[in-house]
Amino acid sequence: MHTTVGIVGGGPAGLLLARLLHLAGIDSVVLENRTRAYVEQRQRAGILEQTTVETLRAAGAGERMDREGLVHHGIDLRFDGRSHRIGFPELTGGRSVVLYAQTEVVKDLVALHLAEGGPLLFEAEAHAVDGADTDRPAVRYTHQGREQTLTCDYVVGCDGFHGVVRNAIPEHLRRTYERTYPYSWLGVLADAPPVHDELVYAHSGRGFALASMRSPVVSRCYLQVPDATHLDDWPDGRIWDELDARLAADGSRPLHRGPITARSVLPMRSHVTEPMHWGRVFLAGDAAHIVPPTGAKGLNLAVADVLVLARALTERYATGSAELLDAYSATCLKRVWRAEHFSWFMTTTLHSEVGQSPFDTRLQLSQLDRIATSPHAAAELAHNYVGLPVGLPGESPSR
């Protein structure tokens, strides 16, 4: 089989790229190693930056998001027993975020692509990319028990952190920057109305907690836990008690409790692979970079990469110029490193390490107090949270 752009991975990055290319009249084939049901149920992100929202709308995937998504104009920061709201529009010139689960974004994009787009093959596992530095790279993959080859003009690795396309960049040219954190998150989904109408981020002596939501009747909450935590050690009652203890602040209400329908433990990691482009191979989304989820940046970074790449491929086929393609890695990495910094900052400011010194705790509380009391510090957080410029040609560089 031959296509113009071979896309490995049918997560948000791969699906959105296929959609944007389709709208630009560029053929693609998407290879996804999981089943459709699996990718549509995988619980992950929930916060969409305004640029992500606008991109999904422009891609024709915004109808249900606009109906069911919840616009959030701020977050609640809790520390030292106090609660402070950071309002976004007044600090960012009117910007805000939308809460709409990644599962729903994926469902919308899959449905659109199957109805109107090119081939989207589920249970098609890519093994390797050959000829990345030639003008006819090829993806070797297995589908329906048969080894097959997809030849392309370009290959894009949207295959997440454990993907294989990254290996097409020669090892001696690939640089990896990584940091792991000495704690994980226990994430739960519960049939219970959220405790607050915006996200609550809590710093406490017992560790970090986050109260989020998926809808007006479904809560999504997280607790900082030690690495290698066993779910069996966390029965429902213990989870709710711990959330209540960590989220408590003057005047706050206890959480609404309900049946917990899903739970998982996720490690916290920062990772960047450079460059994001070599020869005819490009990396986008988690295939190139991972952030700890505290800053709600992973999905949004994936969308930003894809926007830059779709624009560059469109330019390449419309004019023959590869200028934007050549600039892809540098353009994306500028934003990636800013998001890496913000995600690291949110994580290290809000979590407590085992044996953390009182000095370090005082520094965290001082920083949180600065954000709560200084419009400048609050604005820096708000600008990063609602999303920085993507780096498209003609876009205003400062926000």
Ligand X SMILES: Cc1cc2nc3c(=O)[nH]c(=O)nc-3n(C[C@H](O)[C@H](O)[C@H](O)COP(=O)(O)OP(=O)(O)OC[C@H]3O[C@@H](n4cnc5c(N)ncnc54)[C@H](O)[C@@H]3O)c2cc1C
Indicate which single residue of 98, 120, 126, 324 sits in contact with ligand X (rule: CB under 6 A): 126
- Is 397 considered catalytic here? no
Question: CB-wise, 152 or 164, nearer to ligand X?
Answer: 164
- For ligand X, the closer of residues 285 and 362 by Cβ is 285
Distances (CA, A) of 375 to 48, 120, 203, 369, 371: 23, 47, 20, 11, 7
Residue 172 is among the residues annotated as catalytic for this protein = no
What are the structure tokens assigned to 235, written together? 């029965």
Rule CB under 6 A: say whether 28 interacts with ligand X: no
Could you tell me where the beta strands, DSSP code E, fall in 316-380? Answer: none
Which residue number, 32 or 108, has a Cβ lying nearer to ligand X? Answer: 32
- List the one residue from 5, 31, 202, 371 that touches ligand X (CB under 6 A): 31
Site for ligand X in 239-278 (CB under 6 A): 266
Residue by residue, DSSP assigns 22-76 as HHTT--EEEE-SS-HHHHHH-----EE-HHHHHHHHHTT--HHHHHH-EEE-EEE
Closest by CA position to 64, among listed 53, 50, 73: 53
In the numeric block, which tokens belong to residue 141? 């993959």
- Interface pick for ligand X out of 69, 74, 137, 163 (rule CB under 6 A): 163
CA distance 100 to 103: 8
Catalytic site includes residue 72: yes
Q: Count Cβ atoms below 10 Å from residue 149 Cβ, excluding itself.
A: 11
Catalytic residue, candidates 12, 293, 328, 383: 293
Sheet with 218-225, side-by-side order of all strands = 82-87, 74-79, 199-202, 209-215, 218-225, 175-190, 260-274, 289-290
Q: DSSP character for 254?
A: P
125 or 353, CB closer to ligand X? 125
Site map (CB under 6 A) of ligand X, residues 90-109, x = contact: ------------x-------
**Which residue, 62 or 298, is less far from ligand X as judged by CB?**
298
For the CB of residue 372, give the shortest distance to ligand X in the complex, in Å.
22
Catalytic annotation present for 385: yes
Catalytic residue among 141, 181, 201, 328: 201
Residue from 3, 28, 33, 184 touching ligand X (CB under 6 A): that is: 33
Q: Which stretch binds ligand X (CB under 6 A): 41-49, 67-75, 323-331, 349-357?
A: 41-49
Phi-psi region of 261 (alpha: psi -120 to 50; beta: other; left: phi over 0): alpha
User: Site mask, ligand X, residues 185-214, x = CB under 6 A?
Assistant: --x---------------------------
Residues paired with residue 267 on neighbouring β-strands, in sequence order: 184
Distance, CA of 13 to CA of 344 (rounded, Å): 22
317 is catalytic: no
Least distance to ligand X, CB of residue 109, Å: 10
d(CA 222, CA 349): 16
- 367: how many CB neighbours lie within 10 A of its CB? 17
Interacting positions 280-309 with ligand X (CB under 6 A): 285-286, 293, 296-300, 302
Q: Which residues are identified as catalytic?
A: 72, 201, 293, 297, 385
Q: Contact positions toward ligand X, by CB under 6 A?
A: 8-14, 31-34, 39, 44-47, 102, 125-126, 158-160, 162-164, 187, 266, 285-286, 293, 296-300, 302
